[in-house]
Amino acid sequence: DCTPFSQESNPSQAFQQSGMYTLQLIVTDNAGEVGMTSKQVQVENCPPIAHLTAEPKSSKAPPAYVTFDASASKDYDGEITDYQMESSEGELSAEVKPTFTFEECGEYKMTLTVLDNQGDKHKTTQEVTVNCPPEADFSAEPSYGDAPLSVEFQANQATEEETLEYNWLVSCPSEDRDKCPVIQAKPNGQASVHFEHCGNYEVLLTVKDRLGATTKARKFIHVNCLPVATFTHRILFGNLPVTVKLDASEAYDQDGNISEYEWTIDGVKTLSGKQNEVKLDQNTHRITLTVRDDQDATATTEQTIEIIGPYKQTARVGPQIIAAGVTPTKLDREDDQFDIVALVRPGEEAIHIVAFKSTEGPLWEEMRQAGVLPNGDEIYKVTYTYKKGSMSDGTMSTAWGSKPDQYNIIAIDEYNNVSHTYPYLMIGNFPEQYAATKSTAPITYDNTAREEPQVIMAGYSPAKLHVGDNKFDVIAIVRRGKERIRKVILKQNEKDDFHKKMRFLGELENGDEVYNFPFIYKEGDLGTPPEGGVIAHKDIWGPKALQFGIEVVDESEKASHKFPDIEFGRYPEWKPE
């Protein structure tokens, strides 16, 4: 067609159709002279032209589904009769638009071979790229520990190049969403989080590359719940050294088990185990409990307890009524009985009879033994029954005393030595003696509890004061209600400033608690008996101006009746759950 196609010395030319072609060469030398020659070429068949496209040519991540298209391939003087595609992985297809799946990331080459109706072939290639998604892995330091716990995270593939994007998330159970911490992302694939609460947390890292391919990695962080160390102590009433029962049953570990209990008494490790008993002398003692859980975490708590010992235990020749009262002292409308109780100390001889009697009149009820305390004082009781509903709501304020409508208790030993009369406090010639004590015996009087505390018994020890004495103990046996007892107060009705806090001495086996107040006086303050005679303070307890009472206040500030009152009304029994 007379169109120049090359100025090279050794060119090549593709002919699109068959036929006779004339090739003409024209050369020019440096002098400008021109030479010319020509030659004819017979083209019998034009080969086909292979053309191949791929969609997509680049994929974010495997598996990649790539469609190859050979439909634009041509044959100018005939037709294409066969298409053959072969991947660099050796996979074949004879389709014009096949789809290949690439399961792994990398560079792939697809080769297309087309064949025309004259048997000529032509090849072409097309490259595709399957992106390798970023690796998602990270380290956590530490990966577990005790609450509160701060953890640092580092993505393992992190570089200073900003080609990867890191997104961090802490996942919490639905019930703990309000406690779920927020993770703080930092540059270069770093992050940190502070776990305030114990539990199992899932930390999720999503890594995104510049093509948008993402990979996720997760780790679980165990934040150990520290064990909770707590214990109760019971100081048992008795002689020194006093038995103290230690109980750590309420210590716990929220996410595991407590594996070890270690007790330290006054800085010396002496005990192990959940429950223990220890003997302690009179002093202030420091008791420390350390518990260890199954993750080796520990917790410690400490209590300070004061051991006083028993109340003053002076014995005389004859028996003494140390204290008396009724139980319960709050009587419900549905009740039909209560126990009259007395705490009696033997003298040189064993006790023979303890009797409850009226001050004037025929009432005389022998009381039977209802227990022996560890210090040898004996408990006696008699049960008083009445018709249900026969008692009106109200307060019996002074049952004990010397008046005609009041009551007393006396004791007689096996040698017919008669005690003083309760509630009298006697002063005379009463030298100290050894007591004929018995072995400890269980307490069997009525121990009905109410929501409010109760004063069960009160009195003095010793109840017979020798002329040379200058001290005795006011004692009270009280019963807790729904709440623990906070304080026991000895009061004189006339003097608002005479509020003496009584000291806790210990618990009886039935849970009733023993308190005392050491009353110190100068010789003669309580009177001087005539030679060979005695002085009797007969009406110490009661509501009058110069009389005394005892009141208990619990931890919720609920107050008991005031001893020696007996109350009738709506006082249902309270039992701990």
User: Domain end: 175, 191, 224, which one?
Assistant: 224
User: Domain end: 224, 259, 281, which one?
Assistant: 224
345 lies in a domain? yes
10 lies in a domain? no
For the residues 494-513, what does the mean pLDDT come to? 90
- 276, 404: one domain: no
Q: Is the pTM value of this prediction over 0.75?
A: no
Domain that holds residue 206: 138-224
Query: Contact at 8 Å (CB) between 239 and 258?
Result: no
* Per-residue confidence (pLDDT) for residue 2, from 0 to 100: 63
- 190, 271: one domain: no
User: What average pLDDT does the structure give for the chain?
Assistant: 92
* Tens-digit pLDDT profile for residues 105-125: 999 999 999 999 989 999 999
User: Domain end: 165, 193, 224, which one?
Assistant: 224
What percentage of the chain has pLDDT greater than the value 90?
A: 72
Which residues, other chains included, contact 416 with Cβ-Cβ below 8 Å and sequence gap of 6+?
A: 352
Give 211's pLDDT tier (boundaries 50, 70, 90). confident
- 379, 252: one domain: no
- CATH code of 193's domain: 2.60.40.10
* Per-residue confidence (pLDDT) for residue 322, from 0 to 100: 97
* Per-residue confidence (pLDDT) for residue 159, from 0 to 100: 56
530 lies in a domain? yes
Q: How many CA atoms lie within 13 A of 396 on its CB side?
A: 15
- 216, 236: one domain: no
* Per-residue confidence (pLDDT) for residue 9, from 0 to 100: 85
Number of helices (H) and strands (E) in the chain: give both, helices first: 0, 46
456 lies in a domain? yes
- 398, 499: one domain: yes
* Tens-digit pLDDT profile for residues 134-165: 888 999 999 888 889 999 999 987 555 568 88
Query: Contact at 8 Å (CB) between 302 and 542?
Result: no
- 196, 345: one domain: no
Residue for token pair 């072995």: 439
Number of Cβ within 10 Å of residue 137's Cβ equals 14
State the virtual CA torsion across 154, 155, 157, 163 in degrees, nearest 10. -110
Between 29-33, 136-140, 259-263, the lowest mean confidence (pLDDT) is in 29-33
- 335, 290: one domain: no
* Per-residue confidence (pLDDT) for residue 162, from 0 to 100: 61
* Per-residue confidence (pLDDT) for residue 160, from 0 to 100: 53
Query: Contact at 8 Å (CB) between 240 and 309?
Result: yes
Backbone angles phi, psi at 177, to 5 degrees: -60, -35
> Does pLDDT of 47 surpass 90?
no
Q: 340 burial class (0-12, 13-18, 19+ CB within 10 angstroms)?
A: buried
- 557, 423: one domain: yes
What is the separation of C-alpha 557 from the centre of its chain, rounded to a whole number of angstroms? 28
* Per-residue confidence (pLDDT) for residue 334, from 0 to 100: 93
- 483, 413: one domain: yes
- 292, 327: one domain: no
d(CA 165, CA 216) in angstroms, rounded, equals 12
- 386, 483: one domain: yes
- Looking at the 3D structure of the chain, how many domains does it have? 3
**Of residues 258 and 576, more confidently modeled:** 258
- 168, 145: one domain: yes
Most confident of 44-48, 172-176, 286-290: 286-290
Give 133's pLDDT tier (boundaries 50, 70, 90). confident
H-helix segments, 336-412: none
- Output the six-digit token pair for 538: 């007969």
* Per-residue confidence (pLDDT) for residue 519, from 0 to 100: 96
> Does pLDDT of 79 surpass 70?
yes
Residue among 151, 44, 46, 59 nearest 99 (CA) = 59
* Per-residue confidence (pLDDT) for residue 336, from 0 to 100: 95
Written as one letter, the residue type at 361 is G
* Tens-digit pLDDT profile for residues 280-314: 999 999 999 999 999 899 999 999 999 999 999 99
In the chain the first and final C-alpha atoms are separated, in Å, by 114
C-alpha angle 104-108-110 in degrees, rounded to nearest 5: 130
Between 38-42, 148-152, 360-364, the lowest mean confidence (pLDDT) is in 38-42
* Tens-digit pLDDT profile for residues 457-499: 999 999 999 998 999 999 999 999 999 999 999 999 877 778 8
For the residues 27-33, what does the mean pLDDT come to? 88
219 lies in a domain? yes
45 lies in a domain? no
